[in-house]
Amino acid sequence: MKTVKVPDTVCGILWDILKNIMMVMCVTASLLVLLYIAWIVCDNKKSEFGNPSNLNTLPGVKK
């Protein structure tokens, strides 16, 4: 019985790790997609206004 239980626990641990990795990857992927969409929207607004002086008010943007 012990030889049956050991692979089960190993498989369970591996499955938990795999599920955690998949969840983290899914969250990361959706965050990247959101950042990409936000970047496109901001880029469109910037080119829409055509006023680079607006960028100076954003933190971290230096000319």
In the chain, where are the structural domains located?
Answer: 2-57
Q: What is the pLDDT along the chain (63 residues), one digit of tens a residue?
A: 555 566 678 888 999 999 999 999 999 999 999 999 999 888 887 766 655 555 555 555 554
Question: How far is residue 9's CA from residue 5's CA, in Å, rounded to a whole number?
Answer: 6
Distance CA 51, CA 38 (A): 19
To the question of pTM greater than 0.75 for the whole model, the response is no
Residue 56 and residue 63 in contact, taking contact as beta carbons nearer than 8 Å: yes
